[in-house]
Structure formats: structure tokens, C-alpha cells
Amino acid sequence: MELKDKLVHAFMAFENQLDLDHPVHEVRSAAIKTFEKQGFPNKKMEAWKYTSLKSLEKIDFSLFPKNSPSLEYSAVKEYFLHEVDTYKIVFVDGVYSSYLSETTHQGIDVCLMSAALTKDMYKPVIEAYFNKIAPLEENLTALNTAFSKEGAFIHIPKNTQAMKPIEIIHLATGAASALMLQPRNLIVVDQNAEVQIVERHQSLTENEVFTNAVTEIFADKSAIVDFYKIQNDAHTASLVDNTYIDQKDHSVVKVHTFSFGGKLIRNNLNFYQNGERIDSTMKGVTIIGDKQHIDHHTLVHHRQPNCESHQDYKGIYDGSSTGVFNGKIIVDRLAQKTNAFQQNNNLLISDKATINTKPQLEIFADDVKCSHGCTIGQLDQDALFYLQSRGIGKKEAQALLMYAFANNVLASVRIPELKRRINALIALKLGVQLGFDL
């Protein structure tokens, strides 16, 4: 049975274990119908021209694993920002691990989607926000919605600052067989509130893992949200990350995506500006090789005047890896005085690596500043000679230049420990030891 049929068949059994009277029941039922009608995206769709899920659809994924092994903290410690104090919401094979987690309800809610979806006290938040910006007619988002049950639920109330970063960690043991996971996160940051979130998907198995994640983020007026995505997964792990962000007046949301590993990664990162004087930033560093594939699809929808968006994606592609960057900016007629910047720079290290980069600007306002630039190139030979002439070997000099190439994306990382870790990961990915102050 192909994956689509398996998922549609599994839905009934899945729903039966849940509360059928809950309003989300109808949302789920509508969503599975959408998915049943649309199926998985295919290469005939413009947005999926360069990324095929065909090979994943043929794998016999287990959808609801039973008896996941318990993990010792020491075995997975390296995947946590363990040097600093953080809140942690940890899932093992899609199931919440209270043992590895550190949640809170003191002042802020850092807890579980399953709790938010079932407990009465969260009903107003769920009714106001759940599935409200995730588009109803998008194949994979609908699929996730149909099976939405577990994930992270974060609510930062008005005028509150989360005192430590929040880690959302999805671990896959896939002990028995190939595993499909569909985490669903909801993050609500009220007026003038602030939060830093680090999300990571990590497979601990050689078995195939396919994650189809949906995250909805609501940033109310003057809210500040920093979201960091770490994608350094095993070579048998694939991820489709669908993130939807709703911003109100004066809010500042930054999403950093660090992609260093995994088999196939598709990031659908969507910003909707529903207010004035909003700042939306998305930055990415991609360093991949072998036969890895990454596809960054970004969207910024400028709907109101006087807002800004900044995009800066750097990619380094080795081996026969393939990359896609598709950056769409829509500026509505109403959105005068928009400043939208987009930059995508790529280095191809091997002859067999490929990058497809496409800016897509739809501007309906006349008083706007929009710029975009993309480059695909090799390392600057003059810079290389300069470094070599100072005694730095060619390999190290190349690494230093690649590091420099990616570095300005790191400058805006506001968690020092995370920055140090990403620095170290970059050095590791480039295969050299450098005398950086990490």
C-alpha cells in the first residue's frame, strides 16, 4: 500500500481514540479530506519542481509506534544545549518524554499540544489560534492537521519574557521499523512578550524517518520571537518543515535555519504581516554534501504599510548534493513603504553539486524598496591566494573563506551557547580545525 492510502486508512482508527466532540475533530476531518483529494505534492506542481517525495511514498512507514524505548539522558545529551539552562519539550518517536523534558506553567506555558488540545483551560487559545494561519488547502499541512495530536505548546502572556530558551527536541529511535512523525507545534506570544526557541529533529536510527512538521507562530503587537531550527539529522532522516508566522504591529520575528544534515529537507517558511512596522527576518546556513537534498521555500506576505523583511540564505554544496532556494515576496497594494530585502548566495564546491535559486517578487504597491540578489559561484581565488601566502594551507584557507561566507548569518544568533555550537558544527562540517575563538 502506498503511503497516501495507508495514511487515509489510518485516520479513522486515529480519530477513534480521541474526543470526537472537541471542535478540533471537525478541523481534522476536513483536513484528511483535503489530503485524500490532493495526495502528496508532485513535481508537476511549480512549488515542488525540484523536490520529489516519491521515494519516501514507497516506504512502509510505521505511523503510530508502540513501545518506544526509554532513552538515557546521557545518550542524547549532545543534542541538547546542555551547557545552559533551558526549558525542554522532548518527544521520543512522537511520544512525549516527561523524563527528558522540563516544562513549566509558571508565568508562561511551556507544555504539550496534547494537553492544550484536550484541557478546557486551553480551549480559548486553541479556538483562537489553532490552524488559523496554516493554509487549509496545502497537501502536507492538511495531512499534519488531520493527525495533529502532539507537539509543543508555548504560550507567553502579555508583557512577559521567557527567562530561558525553550528547546523543542524530536528524537526518533525507529527501533522497530521506518517511522513517520507529524509533530504539531503552536506558539502564541502575546503583546510585548518575548521568547527564544530552538527546535531540533534528531534520528538515532539507521531506519528511515520521515517527519512532516507544522508549526504555527503568533506574534502579537511588539512581541519578539527568535526561532532557531537545527537540521543536522542522520542520512536516513527526511523532514518537511511547514512553519507559518502571523505578525501584528511592531513585532519582530527572526527565524534562523541551520541545515547541515539529513537526506531530504524541505523548509516551507511563511511570514504573514498583519500589522504595521513589523520586522520579519529569515536567515539560513546550509552546508551539505553527498546525495543530500535541501529545498528552502520562503514566503513573506507584506499586507500592511511600513514593514520590513530581511532574508539572507547562504549555501555551501559539496558532493552531488542538490539545493533549492525559492524566495517569494508579495507586497499588497496597501503595503506602501515596504522594505523587503532578499539575498541568496551559494558556493558550489564540487562539479556535481546543483543549486536552483529563484527570487519571486509580486509587488502591487508603488512606493516600496525591494531588492534581491542571488549568486552562485566558487571561492574567490584572490582571497584564497592571500590566505595561502600567509602560510594557511589550501584546505584550511578554503574552510576559512567558507566560514567567512556563512558567518554574517551567525552574527544575529542571540544565544551565545548556540552560536558557539553552530560555529563548531560548521568547522566540523568543513572538516578542519581552525583557531577560532569559539
Query: Binding segment for another protein among 203-211, 219-227, 246-254, 402-410 (CB under 8 A)?
Result: 402-410
> Which one of residues 52, 118, 388, 412 is an interface residue with another protein (CB under 8 A)?
388
> Which one of residues 45, 404, 424, 428 is an interface residue with another protein (CB under 8 A)?
404
160 counts as binding another protein under rule CB under 8 A: no
Nearer to another protein by C-beta: 106 or 381? 381
- Residues β-bridged to residue 209: 179, 237
Could you tell me if residue 326 is left (phi over 0), alpha (psi between -120 and 50 degrees) or otherwise beta? beta
Q: Which amino acid is at 65?
A: P
> Which one of residues 16, 67, 106, 389 is an interface residue with another protein (CB under 8 A)?
389
For the purposes of burial, counting CB atoms within 10 Å of the CB of 175, is it exposed (0-12), middle (13-18) or buried (19 or more)?
middle
Grid cell, residue 319, equals 558532493
381 counts as binding another protein under rule CB under 8 A: yes
* Nearest distance in Å: CB 403, another protein: 7
* Nearest distance in Å: CB 404, another protein: 4
* Binding to another protein in span 361-380, by CB under 8 A: 380
* Binding to another protein in span 405-424, by CB under 8 A: 405-408
Query: Binding segment for another protein among 33-41, 145-153, 238-246, 384-392 (CB under 8 A)?
Result: 384-392
83 counts as binding another protein under rule CB under 8 A: no
* Nearest distance in Å: CB 415, another protein: 19
> Which one of residues 383, 417, 419, 425 is an interface residue with another protein (CB under 8 A)?
383
313 counts as binding another protein under rule CB under 8 A: no
Strands (E), 2-127: 87-92, 95-96, 109-112
The answer to whether 287 touches 429, Cβ cutoff 8 Å, is: yes
Interatomic CA distance for residues 288 and 294, integer angstroms:
8
The answer to whether 83 touches 417, Cβ cutoff 8 Å, is: yes
The answer to whether 159 touches 193, Cβ cutoff 8 Å, is: yes
Residue with cell string 531506519? 207
Helices assigned H by DSSP within 260-378: none
Query: Binding segment for another protein among 81-89, 209-217, 318-326, 404-412 (CB under 8 A)?
Result: 404-412
> Which one of residues 9, 235, 369, 394 is an interface residue with another protein (CB under 8 A)?
394
Q: DSSP string covering 166-191, please?
A: EEEEEEE---SS-EEE--EEEEEE-T
Element (H, E) at 313: strand 308-317
62 DSSP assignment: B
> Which one of residues 307, 403, 415, 430 is an interface residue with another protein (CB under 8 A)?
403
Nearer to another protein by C-beta: 55 or 433? 433
Q: Which residues bind another protein (CB under 8 A)?
A: 380-383, 385-394, 396-397, 400-401, 403-408, 434-437
